[in-house]
Amino acid sequence: MSAWVAMLCGSAGFTYGTTGIWANCFSTSVFTGWYGATTSFSYEPWYMGLDKPGSFEMTYMKQFFMDIGNWNELIPCFSDRDIASTLRLDTVSMSATEDASIIVAYFYAKHRSCTIKILDPQKTYDAYWFNPRTGKYISIAKDIRAEDGTYTVDSRPDTNDWVFLLTAVGLADHYEENLPKDLNPTYAQVAPTGTKVTPVSVKAVGGISYSGNQKDSQTMTDHTKWLWDGDPSTVWTPVANRTTQTFLFDLGKAQKLTHVTITPATGTIIPTFRVEGSNDGKIWTVITDTSTRDVKNPGTGSEPLEGTYRYVKILLRNADSVNIGENKLDTLPYKAMYNPMSWNCYSVTEIADITIYSDGEGTPTPDQLVTREEGDGSTEDTDVVTDDTVTESPATGTDASDTVTEPAPATGCRSVVLHSVSCIIACAAFVLMKKKRT
């Protein structure tokens, strides 16, 4: 969120960071960095932080500004209500070019719509939602003419943050997706259908357990296989309990997905989570997201799925936080930890098993690549190309190896160059938006 707000308010650039990075954490065998096990939000080392969702989302943000063209001419609108209704920095951030050919609004709080008042009646616009979690666009309307210079933005697709784009100059080649739909809005406990899929490999970002004294041991045990061994007595626990957890399943071939069950260990609950699918390990589609529901999370992890994908990514959100004192921990119906820095408690994440079900192999769900013909500054002549190419994923998981030796950042290091370079490019590219709208 802060990255988008910063860029649309005229920031000279933005670089990715998570607690393990900016808190100077470099080891899992000892609690390095600024804080210890119970006081820090996340005491993961830097190489785990580089594989967190935010690192990939930074590349999506950079690509968005490259896609729209003339990004360096955007002028921050701040809280000017003559430009847009409900415009305020704690709910909607907006920038536009001086000629109003490109208008970008970032919705990230309770306001889900607004009326933009600066459209040029002589221009023809196209409207899109951009998904910061996938880097894909949703086409809303084409060939918009606003005789009165206004356009009302309808309610954003769901309660997540979204970027709204009005453009009169078109987009570069880009991927599009459909509006999100909730497959299970009431948390109905539906029995899984299909058969269990045995993954080729599984990677758990931040899922290293200690094989001895936490402060002294130099050898760690990777219990990732406990996530899918079907044995409820084996429990996977994260390095940093409070922060997000990411699991990447390689199913070997594209499977017609039907269901996923995430079984919590006894006495624990599952935070809200998101499930994504991909057929190349690079372009992802959100299948379900329980964090957008109005219904309270029951703490169980059973959800229907759809689509045909080889790779499945499961993102657990931050542990549930409860504003009670340490002396009331035993009143909660689930295991929890107390954080003296924030004076509240949060749920403990422990997973007994993750099972993915399918109706067998199938034709991969295609990605929608939209291309623009050379020499055309509009979006009228566009082609939708379904990309069925399936390549080997750049991300590999653990399948047999049980032990690693500190620092053992093998899987994390593959991201160091990729994401660090992307962030540096983002900072270098997004130079100061020096004009301020008056």
- Each of the 438 residues of the chain gets a pLDDT tens digit; together they read 788 988 998 887 777 777 667 666 666 655 555 555 555 555 677 777 778 888 889 999 999 999 999 899 999 988 777 888 766 666 788 999 999 999 999 998 766 678 999 999 999 999 999 999 999 999 999 999 999 999 999 888 998 999 999 999 999 999 999 999 899 999 988 899 999 999 999 998 866 544 444 444 445 567 888 999 988 889 888 877 777 889 999 999 999 999 999 999 988 888 899 999 999 999 999 999 999 988 888 877 889 999 999 999 999 988 777 777 667 777 777 888 777 666 677 888 889 999 999 999 999 999 999 986 443 444 444 444 444 433 333 443 434 333 333 333 333 333 333 334 344 344 444 333 433 444
In terms of residue numbers, what domain contains 348? Answer: 195-361
Domain membership of residue 237 (yes or no) is yes
Residue 163 and residue 240 in one domain: no
- Look at residues 361, 383, 398 and tell me which one is the last residue of a structural domain: 361
Q: Same structural domain for residues 336 and 415?
A: no
Shared domain for 161 and 211, answered yes or no, is no
Q: Quick check: is 26 in a domain? A: yes
Burial of 32-57, coded b for 16+ CB within 10 Å and e otherwise, reads bbebeeeebbbbbbbbbbbbbbbbbb
Same domain, 202 and 161: no
CA distances from 267 to 93, 183, 247, 263, 385 (A): 42, 27, 22, 11, 48
Which of 340, 361, 382 marks a domain boundary? 361
Same domain for 263 and 342: yes
Residue 18 lies in a domain: yes
Q: Is residue 156 part of a domain?
A: yes
Is 91 a member of any domain?
A: yes
Q: How many domains does the chain have?
A: 2
Looking at the fold, whether 123 and 63 belong to one and the same domain comes out as yes
Same-domain check for residues 35 and 129: yes
Q: Look at the alpha carbons of 177, 181, 187, 193 in this order and tell me if their dihedral is positive or negative.
A: negative
* Same-domain pairing of 12 and 158: yes
Specify whether 245 is located in the same domain as 343.
yes
The reply to whether 59 falls in a domain is yes
| Coil/strand/helix, residue 256 | strand
Could you give the C-alpha distances from 287 to 77, 125, 269, 303, 426, in angstroms and in order? 34, 30, 21, 10, 28
Query: Can you give the CATH number for the domain in which 206 is found?
Result: 2.60.120.260
Judgement on whether residues 124 and 82 belong to the same structural domain of the protein: yes
Query: Considering the domain boundaries, does residue 404 fall inside one?
Result: no
Query: Residues 23, 104: one domain?
Result: yes
pLDDT digits (tens, 9 = 90+) for 367-397: 999 986 443 444 444 444 444 433 333 443 4
What's this model's pTM, rounded to 2 decimal places?
0.81
36 plus 87 within the same structural domain: yes
Residue where one domain finishes, among candidates 343, 361, 379? 361
